[in-house]
Structure 1
Amino acid sequence: MGSSNSDYVLYQYTPNLVCAVIFVALFALTTTFHLYQRIRTCAKYFNPFIVGGIFQIIGYAARAVSHFHTTSTTLYAMQTLLILLAPTLYAASIYMVLGRVITFLHGDHLSYVPVRYMTKIFVFGDVLSFILQGAGGGVMSSGSGSAKALVAGQWIIVAGLCVQLVFFGAFLITSMLFHYRIVRSPTHQSENLIDIGGLIPRDWRGLLFALYTVSVLILVRSIYRVIEFTQGNSGYVISNEVFLYVFDSAMMFLVMLVMNVFHPSIVLRIDQRLGTTESKSELPRGETV
């Protein structure tokens, strides 16, 4: 391959070809379905989510090729960076969904964080995390595989992951507090938009629980990544590939699958039975559909 090679040990194992190919296929399936849902519902706020899925596909494809080229720093940086950054893109869409839910239910007064600033605040943290993690990956790839560059890049990535943890934790608390307050003091819209059928409510309550689920999955994954990078390239976690597939690959696939099953457009775009539709006036100020 026409990629740079390194005498420094990039992997403590040979990347598993079968697992990488399986996740290329899984992410391709769920991303394709998300693209279909995006086109069908015009949910522009889910564009970052779809790009995250594309990152995963390319990242695991690069990882599959790395099975045959374990010394390629180009492939190593590509798969590390794309798989690492994908959840940051998921987060951007998830942040935008909460603001829309609150506005859709006319519950602005029940949110501790003003809705007009909510998306801006959380997406700012997301962008900062993205930049730091991207910069860390850039340092790793520009160092031609030197130990010094890899270590420096890993610590920059850790900083980005810590930013992600702080903002995601704040987002989760904000969501739960709003949920608690609107249950205690329901708005007219929230009471009229309740689906009493089925085990899992297909209304705003179900959507909030879906957001909690994917948020916890991303938080656990980010904690795993912090542990991985703080231990260094010879640490126990990074030296055992099974951790990657259990705490990152599988969890991020579940994130995409959960949002396939409970796509926000089910609640935010239209509820046929109740005859309720989303209009631009119901969006958080400064945002479009």
Structure 2
Amino acid sequence: MSYTIQQLIEINQGCTALKDDLEPSYGYVPTKGAGMAFCILFGLSMLAHTFQFCWKRTWWCSVFAIGCLVELIGWAGRTWSSDCPYNSTAFMIQISTLIIGPTFFTAGIYILLGRFIQIFGRESSFLSPKQYLWIFCTCDIISLVVQAAGGGLASSESDKIGGDTATGTNIMVAGIVFQLISITIFVGCAGDFLRRITRLGYLSWASGSFMMLTGAMVLSVVCIYIRSIYRTVELAQGWSGYLITHESYFIGLDGVLMVVAVGIFNVFNPGWLLSSVRGAGLPVSRPTAEVKPVRY
């Protein structure tokens, strides 16, 4: 059956069940159970993070809650698409939000390393905490803006009959690649930080809280890194590529990894653990004048 332009517009704007002769923008119908499950998981993590940063007054940790909210909105869009697979608004919501959600998680990780440097002292890093904040959070903002712009452009084109999504897709890929580069540089800086505190003998007195937070940070970065590589390859293949048209990859390499990336900080929450890191004491050989009060 062939559809008129008016019929296609009505299908895109309304809630039409799957038709055998008309393929959804996803290449499949999103699984409703998966959408609801991730909405619940990100919603619970958001509520937990909100409670935790309000209780401990670690306001910078709000970036984790904001990221959860963005992810929640995106998965709500996919849940909507399970009932209305052709609805362009639902598709636009999920593609524009799920592409940028992890940016907020990386922002929290960047700030966390800055807090470590404040605790261990300036000699533990070649960059100051403020420099970390400005450099990497600026990179995050740039990545967020680029990805959001590309997602919005690609979504708007997908809503048009014969629309060209290539430009928007390429912009999104550029944003993700930029994020990958900034994460890679950050990993190098974090490795230098660990090398320095080990050489200075600080790692030997570091508390269990520091080790737990460091482990959480490493796990979160690995999850975000794998996800970013996946999304780069997925989008580079185009809107009809193999990865983007098979939901299992998206669930496993985006949804599951992002739940782990943000949920680990509910378990090992910086608001609860940073004070323990600071209270563990300093090496006797370290001049106490170098230590400045830090608000966690």
Common fold: TM-score over 0.5: yes
Aligned to 2:258: 252
**2:133 paired with 1:119:** yes
Amino acid of the residue matched to residue 273 of structure 2?
A: V
- Aligned-partner residue type, residue 207 of structure 1: L
Asked if the contact 1:59–1:79 (Cα under 8 Å) also holds between the matched residues in 2, the reply is yes
| Change beyond 3 A, Cα 1:274–1:226 | closer
Match among 271, 290, 293 for residue 282 of structure 1 = 293
**Structure 1 runs, 4 residues or longer, greater than 3 Å off:** 1-9, 146-149, 269-276, 280-283
| 2:27 is the counterpart of 1:18 | no
* CA distance, structure 1, for counterparts of residue 126 and residue 281 of structure 2: 30
Match for 1:86 among 95, 101, 114? 101
Match of 1:59 among 74, 82, 95: 74
Aligned to 1:50: 65
RMSD of equivalent CA atoms? 2.5
Q: Check whether the contact 1:3–1:75 (CA below 8 A) recurs between aligned residues.
A: no
**CA deviation profile, 1:77-112 (whole Å, cap 9, x unmatched):** 101111111100111111111111111122x12313
SS at 2:83's partner residue? Answer: coil
Counterparts of 1:206 and 1:144 in 2: how far apart (Å)? 44
- Which of 167, 178, 189 is matched with 1:152 structurally? 167
Q: Which residue of structure 2 aligns with residue 168 of structure 1?
A: 183
- Per the alignment, residue 206 of structure 1 pairs with 212
**Counterpart of 1:198?**
none
Task: For 1:87 and 1:269, locate their aligned partners in 2 and report how far apart those are by CA, in whole Å.
Answer: 26
**Shift in Å, 1:160:** 0.2
Q: Partner of 2:267 in structure 1?
A: 261
Instruction: Give the Cα–Cα distance (whole angstroms) in 2 for the partners of residues 169 and 18 of structure 1.
Output: 35
Give the aligned residue type for 2:175.
G
Which consecutive unaligned segments of at least 5 residues does structure 1 have? 196-200
Conserved? CA contact 1:45–1:97, under 8 Å: no
Determine if contact 2:13/2:87 at 8 Å carries over to the other structure.
Answer: yes
* Residue of structure 2 equivalent to 1:130: 144
Amino acid of the structure 2 residue aligned with 1:217: C
Offset from partner CA, 1:227-268 (integer Å, 9 cap, x none): 000000111100100001100000000012211111112332
Q: Give the number of aligned pairs.
A: 272
Q: How far 1:191 sits from its partner (Å)?
A: 5.5
The answer (yes or no) to whether the contact 2:230–2:253 under 8 Å persists in 1 is: yes
Asked if 2 retains the 8 angstrom alpha-carbon contact of 1:139 and 1:149, the reply is no
1:29-59 CA distances to partner (integer Å, 9 max, x unpaired)?
A: 1111111111111111111211110111111
Conservation of the 8 A alpha-carbon contact between 1:138 and 1:153: yes
Q: Distance in 2 between matches of 1:236 and 1:157?
A: 18
21-30 or 263-272, larger mean C-alpha shift: 263-272
2: CA distance, partners of 1:131 / 1:4: 27
TM-score normalised to structure 2 length: 0.84
Partners of 1:25 and 1:235 in 2: how far apart?
29
Cα pair distance change 1:155/1:273, threshold 3 Å = closer
